[in-house]
Amino acid sequence: MRGIVMIYTGDGKGKTTAAIGVIMRMLCIGKRVAMVQFLKGSMMSAECALPKKYKKFILARAGSGFFTHEHERDEQTRLAEEGLAAARRMMKDADLLVLDEVNTAVKLKLLRFRDLLSLLKTRGKTHVICTGRNAPRRLMDAGDIVTEMKCIRHHFSKGGKAVRGIDY
pLDDT tens digits, one per residue of 88-138: 999 999 999 999 999 999 999 999 999 999 999 999 999 999 999 999 999
- The distance in angstroms from the start CA to the end CA of the chain is 33
Q: What does the pLDDT look like over 47-61, one tens digit per residue? A: 777 888 899 999 999
Residue 163 counted as domain residue: no
Residue 62 counted as domain residue: yes
Residue 114 counted as domain residue: yes
Q: For the stretch 37-51, what's the b/e string if a residue is b when 16 or more beta carbons lie within 10 angstroms of its beta carbon?
A: bbbbeeeebebeebe
User: What pLDDT, on a 0 to 100 scale, did the predictor assign at position 55?
Assistant: 94
Residue 164 counted as domain residue: no
Give the CATH number for residue 72. 3.40.50.300
Cβ neighbours of residue 63 closer than 8 Å, sequence gap 6 or more: 37, 38, 39, 40, 41, 76, 79, 80, 83, 105, 110
Q: What does the pLDDT look like over 68-87, one tens digit per residue? A: 677 788 889 999 999 999 99
- What angle in degrees, to the nearest 10, is found between the helix axes of 73-91 and 113-121? 10
User: What pLDDT, on a 0 to 100 scale, did the predictor assign at position 59?
Assistant: 95
pTM value is 0.91
pLDDT at 17 over 70: yes
User: What pLDDT, on a 0 to 100 scale, did the predictor assign at position 68?
Assistant: 66
User: What pLDDT, on a 0 to 100 scale, did the predictor assign at position 131?
Assistant: 98
Residue 165 counted as domain residue: no
> Percentage of the chain surpassing pLDDT 70?
95
Element (H, E) at 146: strand 145-149
Domain that holds residue 32: 5-158
User: What pLDDT, on a 0 to 100 scale, did the predictor assign at position 160?
Assistant: 83
pLDDT at 46 over 80: no
Total domains in the fold of the chain: 1
Q: Read off the pLDDT band of 167 (50, 70, 90).
A: confident
Residue 113 counted as domain residue: yes
| SS3 at position 114 | helix
